[in-house]
Amino acid sequence: MENYFLSIYFCLQHMTEAHSIFDFKGLFQWFKQVDFSLKLMGVGMLLLLPLLKWMPLFVVFIFLSWVGERLIKKQKLSVSKFNPTQYGMILLFVFYLLGMIWTENVTTGWKNVEYKLSFLLLPIFFIFFNHKINNRRWLQIFIFGLVINCLLLLFFAAFRSLNSDAADDVSKFWKESDFSFYMHRSYLSAYMSIGALMMIGLFLKTKEITLLILFFLFTLIIVLSASKAGLIVLFSGSFGLILRFVIGHFSSNRVRWFSFFFVLALSSTVLLSDIVRVRFKSAWNALFTAEVMNNKSKDSTEARVMMWSASWELIQSNFWTGLGTGDVDDELQRVNMARNNRGVVEQKLNSHNAFLTMFLQLGIFGFLFFCFGLLYLFRYFWKRKSVFGVIVLFVFVINFFFESFLETRAGVFPFCWLVLSILSFEVCGPKNHKHEDSMV
């Protein structure tokens, strides 16, 4: 037993020496030194995914704690200036409120407005909560939280397998929705993709094998979730980072061999999974052969093709103002009922595309405003060489093409939380803007 704990100790010590992102001792010391409200902020980032439903209330508690600390210390409640992204999110929320004017389904409309409150409340929260957090520390907490999520998912899959009835198929606990039991697998894989891409980027910079191990841990979770969007993000992002690295170091034989074996290992990891292979084969066939009328299928790819087609039909007839904040799903149902697409009608699906949903709700002006906001963010992160910001935005935007990501709390809250925290702590932190960027 003593040797077992010694091996764990030496493993953690090696990880700490491998990269500052594994500096757990420094992280614990940081937690001891900072104010209580900042401790809560760190805990919120650490447990962002498993406690996502409770995060809005948790943010309120953080804010009240921050106010209490200032009153006790007799300090002013200082407020930071709004940055353009905060203004943009608040204005987008105003667009949704205006969309209620021509909404017929008021109940659904106000429900959507409730989900979009993150666009209003989180920007206001971050202008008050102006603590100084180095982005490298913030990234460390986020990655540590992803590792906790991986262990939680693997533990529960193993626990349910060991405690299942003899007649049960235990493999179901290790795949798709049964594996991702507390969050839709598309959303889970999106957040794991952020961690995976950060790890491969850091590995290319430092050549530390521990980072590569974490990359494959996050990849394993994505593969087990069998999310096609997650795998597309993982492949495209990884190849993009590797290509960028190879172009700058192509003269090295080590780089060429590493690139070959990495691509081989990643491809094998995915292709050896029967679930993934079957899903991608059926998806590829469905993408080009799916009928958009008289289709009874409930296949996820065919359903997306049908919903995209129905969305485009509605956009053409509601180009300028959209359908309003609450009428989109009803109109999509109407179109698919007219087309006799029974499968998607029974499932009551949304457009499965955040851009199409935005266009349907707010019309051309809301759609363009949203797109220009994303372009502004990308340009900002790119100019500041904020790798964390670029990867977060890349993962979200790719997923926007396959999921109505901003129509659920599991999508809109983490999007606002991650983007605003990166922006706010970059501004409020040290003036050396290299922070995590020097790591990739």
Query: In the structure, what pLDDT confidence band is assigned to residue 108 with cuts at 50, 70 and 90?
Result: very high
Q: Which domain holds residue 195?
A: 2-281+363-439
Query: In the structure, what pLDDT confidence band is assigned to residue 430 with cuts at 50, 70 and 90?
Result: very low
Q: What is the mean pLDDT of residues 182-207?
A: 91
pLDDT tens string 119-142: 999 999 998 876 777 788 888 999
Mean pLDDT lowest for which of 211-220, 236-245, 425-434? 425-434
The answer to whether residue 290 sits within a structural domain is no
Handedness of CA 68, 127, 48, 148 (dihedral sign): negative
In this model, does residue 105 exceed pLDDT 50? yes
Report the chain's mean pLDDT, rounded to a whole number: 85
In this model, does residue 109 exceed pLDDT 80? yes
pLDDT at 432: 43
- Given the structure tokens 């690295």, which residue do they identify? 245
C-beta of residue 379 within 8 angstroms of C-beta of residue 360: no
Between 24 and 427, name the one with better pLDDT.
24
pLDDT at 112: 94
In this model, does residue 433 exceed pLDDT 60? no
Max mean pLDDT among 252-256, 302-306, 373-377 falls in 373-377
pLDDT at 207: 80
The answer to whether residue 287 sits within a structural domain is no
DSSP 429: S
pLDDT at 244: 79
Between 297 and 334, name the one with better pLDDT.
334
Task: Name the percent of the chain lying above pLDDT 70.
Answer: 84
In this model, does residue 380 exceed pLDDT 60? yes
Q: Give the burial string for 394-405 (b: 16+ CB within 10 Å, else e).
A: bbbbbbbbbbbb
C-beta of residue 221 within 8 angstroms of C-beta of residue 247: no
pLDDT at 437: 42
pLDDT at 78: 76
Mean pLDDT lowest for which of 75-84, 88-97, 248-257, 373-382? 248-257
Pairwise CA distance, residues 404 & 399, whole Å? 8
**Phi and psi of 157, rounded to 5°?**
-65, -45
Q: What is the mean pLDDT of residues 46-73?
A: 90
The answer to whether residue 255 sits within a structural domain is yes
The answer to whether residue 383 sits within a structural domain is yes
In this model, does residue 396 exceed pLDDT 60? yes
pLDDT at 286: 66
Question: DSSP labels for 207-252?
Answer: --HHHHHHHHHHHHHHHHHT-HHHHHHHHHHHHHHHHHHHHHHTT-
Q: What is the mean pLDDT of residues 331-352?
A: 93
The answer to whether residue 306 sits within a structural domain is no
Q: What is the mean pLDDT of residues 7-28?
A: 59
Q: What is the mean pLDDT of residues 406-413?
A: 92
Query: In the structure, what pLDDT confidence band is assigned to residue 226 with cuts at 50, 70 and 90?
Result: confident
Query: pTM of the predicted model, to two decimals?
Result: 0.89
In this model, does residue 260 exceed pLDDT 80? no
pLDDT at 165: 77
pLDDT at 279: 65
pLDDT at 350: 92
Query: In the structure, what pLDDT confidence band is assigned to residue 251 with cuts at 50, 70 and 90?
Result: low
Q: What is the mean pLDDT of residues 374-394?
A: 94
C-beta of residue 93 within 8 angstroms of C-beta of residue 116: yes
The answer to whether residue 256 sits within a structural domain is yes
State the total domains in the chain: 1
Distance set, CA 35 to CA 74, 122, 210 (Å): 15, 20, 32
Q: Which amino acid is at 419?
A: V
C-beta of residue 436 within 8 angstroms of C-beta of residue 140: no
Task: Name the percent of the chain lying above pLDDT 90.
Answer: 48
- H or E element: which one contains 415? helix 409-428
Query: In the structure, what pLDDT confidence band is assigned to residue 277 with cuts at 50, 70 and 90?
Result: low
Query: In the structure, what pLDDT confidence band is assigned to residue 30 with cuts at 50, 70 and 90?
Result: confident
C-beta of residue 44 within 8 angstroms of C-beta of residue 61: no
Pairwise CA distance, residues 321 & 145, whole Å? 41
Q: Which residues contact 44 (CB under 8 A, 6 or more apart)?
A: 55, 58, 59, 62
